[in-house]
């Protein structure tokens, strides 16, 4: 649903109810400016999706497996680049 900023000001309560069923886009000067969301939708945006993170990790490991293997081999044979770093 799209409404003007004036309509949003005048019908705020009704738009809060409408936001529970779907996002409400508030326009200023004919351009999208703000979106009203239900609190549940907002919480879902803030919470990382464990399945999504696992899928992204798996995709990264698959795409970069050669680089990861070379880096791990270098680490195993030479250690970290700063192993002998001394604090003064």
pLDDT, one tens digit for every residue, the chain (88 residues): 999 999 999 999 999 999 999 999 999 999 999 999 999 999 988 887 777 888 889 999 999 999 999 988 888 888 776 666 666 6
Q: CB-based contacts of 83: which residues, under 8 Å, 6+ apart? A: none
pLDDT value at position 71? 87
Contacts of 34 (CB under 8 A, 6+ apart): 8, 25, 26
Confidence (pLDDT) at 45? 87
Q: Which pLDDT value is given to residue 44?
A: 86
What is the pLDDT at residue 85?
64
């Amino acid at each position: 649903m799209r409404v003007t900023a004036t309509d949003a000001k005048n019908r705020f309560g009704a738009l809060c109810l409408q936001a529970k069923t779907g996002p409400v886009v508030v326009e200023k000067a004919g351009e999208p400016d703000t979106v009203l969301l239900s609190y549940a939708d907002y919480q879902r945006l803030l919470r990382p999706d464990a399945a999504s993170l696992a899928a992204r990790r798996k995709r990264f490991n698959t795409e970069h497996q050669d680089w990861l293997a070379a880096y791990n081999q270098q680490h195993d044979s030479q250690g970290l680049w700063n192993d002998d770093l001394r604090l003064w």
